[in-house]
Amino acid sequence: MTYLTHLECSKCRKEVAANTPQRLCPDCQKPLLARYDLDALGKVWNPQTLVGRESTLWRFRELLPMASMSHAIRLGEGGTPLLHAKRLGKVLGLEHLLIKDEALNPTGSFKARGLCLAVSRACELGIAEVVIPSAGNAAGAMSAYAAAAGMRAHVFMPRDVPLPFRSECEAYGADVTLVDGLIGDCGAAAKKAAEAHAWFDVSTLKEPYRLEGKKTMGLELAEDLGWKLPDVIIYPTGGGTGLIGMWKAFDELERLGMISSKRPRMVVVQAEGCAPMVRAFEEGSDEARPWENASTIAAGLRVPAAVGDFLILRTVRESGGVAIAVSDRDLTMGQHELAACEGVFACPEGGATVAAVKRLVDTGWIEPTECVVAFNTGTGLKYPEVRTEGVP
Ligand SMILES: *Cc1c(COP(=O)(O)O)cnc(C)c1O
């Protein structure tokens, strides 16, 4: 089963017990990371171990935190396709453009991976009620997993959230509170309610296990590519869990002897109307200042201040990557191109990665023969207000 040993602070390295519910580091309030006994696992784990296992993220269960699979809530998460985008690649001038299509997850986005693990582990540790502030996919994913676990879900959303995101939570039986204000105001309201009622808050990186769920994207990429990694990974970044999680997966696979030390260049893509990581990257800072008046149609990228800012920036720099911002117009065009060339109707965040690939190929930062993985993080079907008609 699991090789989880303890949790470790990503900043001050304090060690914390993993067998009781934990949120941030008790000393410095930074994210906690799950640590495994990789030396022991390395002795028994090899590519053969995975043969014949189900094609969901649970195929990597030794590297996941569940003590027992009896509390694992399974809706078919992970195991998403890695599509060779031949037609779009040709348009953009790339031979090996791959799309990791996360829209095929339960609830239509990769948020299912993180919340599957956060909710399953909370359930295993005896928690009965979970709460989240969210302007989009995270709320639906948490509500679905809580429903399947028989747990109570509390969601705080901005009043102007697109209807599909809200109806979905209500259908799963979540208790939805509409907040007059932005996601920051929802965060404050959720925090207050969590403290008042002793609900467990599963906000991005404020508990350790969403990261473990998102990490499985990195494990899948490595396995799908025959235990070699691509040259470049393009990731639409809000809170950055997927980016930080994939880097953690690569560290663990290298420690296990499954991959070499050759890593992809990690690219952070944000929207011009909310690009705190891009600004910090360009300024050479280790942390990001909060973005004022954040605005973009890509709700998953509307994160003015990320708890894991220093981890995102460290990963991009260590990998030799870059952080770039694209306009809402360009990301909408990217959405259109991905749909028309490849039959993948992406969310606006997925469109942003296509816009980024185009820019980086045009400037020569990506070479035509390089293997590039671009993430489509969710389905386009939940954004009825986004129009792609008339876009060239
Ligand atoms: C949440 C979200 C993102 C951003 O993901 P992070 O890992 O928090 O950076 C991107 N795309 C979609 C569709 C999302 O829902």
The pick from 102, 109, 209 for probing ligand 1's pocket by mutation, whose C-beta has the most ligand atoms within 8 angstroms, reads 109
Per-domain residue ranges of the chain: 82-107+210-382
Classify domain 82-107+210-382 at the CATH class level: alpha beta
Q: What is the model's pLDDT at position 149?
A: 98
What are the start-end ranges of the H helices in the chain?
38-44, 86-92, 111-124, 137-149, 163-171, 183-197, 209-224, 241-255, 276-283, 309-318, 328-342, 348-362
Instruction: Provide, for the chain, the percentages of residues in helix, strand and coil under a 3-state DSSP scheme, each rounded to the nearest 5.
Output: 45, 20, 40
Q: What is the model's pLDDT at position 390?
A: 52
Distance (Å) from CA 126 to ligand 1 centroid = 28
Q: Taking Cα atoms as reference points, which of 197, 176, 179 lies closest to residue 187?
A: 179
Distance (Å) from CA 236 to ligand 1 centroid = 7
Q: Taking Cα atoms as reference points, which of 328, 227, 353 lies closest to residue 272?
A: 328
Please say if the pLDDT value at position 2 is more than 50: yes
Determine the Cα–Cα distance for residues 142 and 122; give it in Å rounded to an integer.
Answer: 12
Q: What is the model's pLDDT at position 301?
A: 94
CB atoms within 10 A of CB 273: 17
Q: What is the model's pLDDT at position 392?
A: 47
In angstroms, the Cα distances linking 150 to 127, 142, 176, 355, 379 are: 11, 12, 17, 41, 26
Instruction: Give tens-digit pLDDT for 380-391.
Output: 999 876 665 555
Indicate which atom in ligand 1 lies nearest the CA of residue 303: 8
Residues with CB under 6 A from ligand 1: 109, 111, 136-137, 204, 236-242, 300, 347, 349, 377-378
Q: What is the model's pLDDT at position 388?
A: 53
Distance (Å) from CA 35 to ligand 1 centroid = 24
Indicate which atom in ligand 1 lies nearest the CA of residue 347: 13
What b/e string do you get for 155-188 counting C-beta neighbours within 10 Å, with b at 16 or more? bbbbeebbeebbebbeebebbbbebeebbbebbe
Distance (Å) from CA 161 to ligand 1 centroid = 16
- Distance from first CA to last CA of the chain, Å, rounded? 51
Indicate which atom in ligand 1 lies nearest the CA of residue 239: 8
Question: Percent of the chain at pLDDT above 70?
Answer: 98
pLDDT confidence band for 184 (50 / 70 / 90): confident
Question: Percent of the chain at pLDDT above 90?
Answer: 94
Distance (Å) from CA 44 to ligand 1 centroid = 34
Distance (Å) from CA 86 to ligand 1 centroid = 25
Burial of 116 (0-12, 13-18, 19+ CB in 10 A): buried
Q: What is the model's pLDDT at position 1?
A: 85
In this structure, what are the phi and psi dihedrals at residue 355, rounded to the nearest 5 degrees? -60, -40
In angstroms, the Cα distances linking 49 to 52, 61, 258 are: 8, 11, 12
Determine the Cα–Cα distance for residues 160 and 140; give it in Å rounded to an integer.
Answer: 16
Q: What is the model's pLDDT at position 387?
A: 61
